[in-house]
Amino acid sequence: MPTNSEVEMSPAEVDAHLSRHETGVLALARDDAPYAIPISYGYDADERALYLRLVSTPDSEKREFLASAPRARVVVYADDDDEYASVVGVGPLERVDLDELTPETIAQYGEARRPLFEIWADDKPDLDIELYRFAPEKLTGRTVVVERDEA
């Protein structure tokens, strides 16, 4: 029977995990209805903030959830043989006005490598590309090592 060893990540380990990865899951809720989508992000360890480019179509469920200014949860996880690591952030998702962009901010969005806009079947004029900043109020991480019995 496998045994588990679970360890809470230090803030530096959380930052390293978020800096090392570029994809995760964004979860939103509205009127008790959940919504979760895969995302790509850039991470700024100094600000402890994730930068997201979110693409939606005019009639998409994503656009409806984003319009409600929901609280958000982001999960970034990795699975490497017998070690599992995850970081969870909780807080407000802030839409960034294009007038507020700085060269430093734009560089963060450059780290968000996905979505690759060329894969969308819809015409690009029908797509709404919005920029978001997620600076979680709570940011935690855990690493679990599974020691498997050799049979």
Pairwise CA distance, residues 19 & 9, whole Å: 14
d(CA 68, CA 32): 12
N residues, the chain: 151
pTM > 0.85: no
Amino acid at 43: Y
Q: What is the dihedral of CA 2, 16, 139, 37, to 10 degrees?
A: -80
Along the 151 residues of the chain, how does pLDDT read in single tens digits? 465 788 999 999 999 999 999 899 999 988 888 999 998 888 989 999 998 888 877 778 888 888 777 789 999 999 988 889 999 999 999 888 877 766 666 665 555 444 444 444 545 556 777 888 999 999 999 999 887 766 5
| CB contact at 8 A, 89 and 136 | yes
CATH superfamily of 4-146: Electron Transport, Fmn-binding Protein; Chain A (2.30.110.10)
- Tokens for 50, please give them: 């994730």
Sketch the domain layout of the chain as residue ranges.
4-146
